[in-house]
Amino acid sequence: MNTRGFSRRLPLAIAALLLLLLGVLATLQYRWSGEVSAMERQRMRSSLFAAGSRFAEDFDREVTRVFLYFHPIMEPVDDKVERVLRQYARWMDEAPYPRLIREVYLVRPAGGGRVDLLVLRPEEHRFEASPWTPELLALAKRFHERSHGPGHLHGGFGMAMRVEGSLPGLVIPLEFSAPPEDRQPRASGTGGHLVVRFDERAIAGEIFPALTRRYFAGPQGDEYALAVMGAGRTVFVSDPKMPEASFGGGDLSLGIFGLRQFDELESLWNGRRSAGRRERFPGSPWPRVEGLPEGRRHEAGGAWRLVIKRRDGSLEQAVTAIRHRNLVISLGILALLGATAGLMMVTTQRAQRLARQQIEFVAGVTHELNTPLTAIRSAGQNLADGVVAEPAQVRRYGALIEGEGRRLSNMVGQALEFAGIQSGRRVYHPRPVEVGEILDGALQDCRWLLQEKRIEVERDVEAGLPPVWADAAAVRQAVQNLLENAVKYGGRAGWIGVRARRAPSGQVEVTVADRGPGIRAEDRPHLFEPFFRGRDAAVGSIPGSGLGLSLVRHIAEAHGGRVTVAAGAGEGSAFTLHLPAASAAAERIPALEEPA
């Protein structure tokens, strides 16, 4: 008894343990997904920062190249125009982006607080006087203010190297004085300044698109859009479909448009200088730069800002979406594992129940076969020994042998029918059949059983019923099984009702009812399962194999119909076959002729 109880509790214990393990695994998976998301966020940020930094560095490299091509010298030069012309010609011959420079201006003090502006005409090899255009007015004001400052005593401005983001361009002193103790060269007060104005159309239409393709053209780079902003305006947007306002909350913002110490450009400074002069100008050759945003006056700063943003939202949203996707996949796998484990448990329990039912089936069939065989052997032995000699007794013994033989044949037939269904070799041959013909045949087959149990049969067939489209032998067997079932479980009442009528749906309904004790509620869901026998059958020692009702269901479904039961405890039971009428089931001929 203890062993049997343990065997019943073991599957529940295993199921509880599996659920606990799945819960622990789900918790660990949630934590792991958080750690993976954090690493993915760091990886994406690092990758984005690296690509954005290279973008900014490459542009700043071109800005620095401009400064180094037009760099100032330590000593006054008489022919400034010739030196600038040589620098400009060298830029046009050697620079990767010669169109970056739009114009070159010379700004010089003219005495009396005036500031003259001259524009370079390279094709004429000269500087030509030019008015201050609206774009240069802010710069003119700054030069005018400087001309009245401390540098005005020397007739100059005293302005250092300056980045002009609004122009855009560079302000480069033509001369540097000797470096003071802080070793930073200062702009000379006696020289003028070059204003190198950049072509914003070349920047936005040539340089920035080339850098975007270089660093943001891969599978991951296509997920981002870039914008360069400066001086209160948007200089460049990589995707015109992206609104400019969306870049206010970008995923990454970097300084761009500044001077940096690029080692590969050192030769542009040092190559033009003699060894003696390098000694007079020790340390870093890079001058103090003005014009960078407050707090970013260092070599990595910039007058503009490079803003990078994901097209589909933000980087945090992308990481969150990736985490949610991973969680859904992980939890889906865990749910699949849980469902598989549950299915295995259910399958195991069903297999165990089926094994018990098969054992009960073997025991029941053995008992059922033994009863008619014993009766046949006893009757045959009496006849063989001459114990029965009178004609009346001989006829009675003959009827007994016939009845028990028919009973034996029915049991063997059910077993063969079930085996054919399970193997898939059972074939039905439907044709139009009258319902009354099927009922009369089934009642004739059960005549001996009904007479033996003294059952009154009430037959009621509705007039004008259409024929059904069915295999007559199969449906006849189904009705016979229902009759035998009614005799077994409701025979004590001595009445069975058999009626046929047409349903509103057009189908023909055949009902076999009894007035027995009915069917228990817990047995109803399993009535049509193979080998199932209710509790009343086991307690009352009612003979049977548990195959009759399962065969009825299969035959009904194979004909495009179904079987239903109406039963309550103590109220009798009524099984109904729902069969399609011949006129509505002609199209089912191919389907019914297929193996079941």
* Dihedral class, residue 313 (left if φ above 0, else alpha if ψ from -120 to 50, else beta): left
Instruction: Determine the angle formed by the axes of helices 2-69 and 315-385, rounding to 10 degrees.
Output: 150
83-92, 95-104, 350-359: which has the highest mean pLDDT?
Answer: 95-104
Question: How does DSSP assign 172-221, residue by residue?
Answer: EESBEEPP-TT---EE-SSS-EEEEEE-HHHIIIIIHHHHHHHHS-STTG
Contact of 355 with 88, CB cutoff 8 Å: no
Which tens digits make up the pLDDT trace of 274-284? 433 443 333 44
pLDDT band at 445 (very low <50, low <70, confident <90, very high): confident
Domains and CATH numbers, the chain: 45-274+295-313 (no CATH), 426-592 (3.30.565.10)
Which tens digits make up the pLDDT trace of 450-505? 888 888 999 999 988 999 988 888 899 899 889 988 888 876 778 999 999 999 88
268-272, 391-395, 554-558: which has the highest mean pLDDT?
Answer: 554-558
Which tens digits make up the pLDDT trace of 145-154? 766 555 443 3
**Average pLDDT over the chain, rounded to an integer:** 78
Please give the helix or strand (H or E) that residue 237 lies within, else none.
strand 233-237
Phi, psi of 500 (to 5 degrees): -135, 135
Mean pLDDT along residues 70-76: 66
Interatomic CA distance for residues 414 and 83, integer angstroms? 115
- pLDDT > 70 fraction of the chain, expressed in percent and rounded: 75
* 518 has a pLDDT exceeding 50: yes
* 527 has a pLDDT exceeding 50: yes
**45: Cβ contacts below 8 Å, ≥ 6 apart:** 252, 315
Interatomic CA distance for residues 302 and 298, integer angstroms? 8
Interatomic CA distance for residues 76 and 81, integer angstroms? 13
Which tens digits make up the pLDDT trace of 430-439? 889 999 999 9
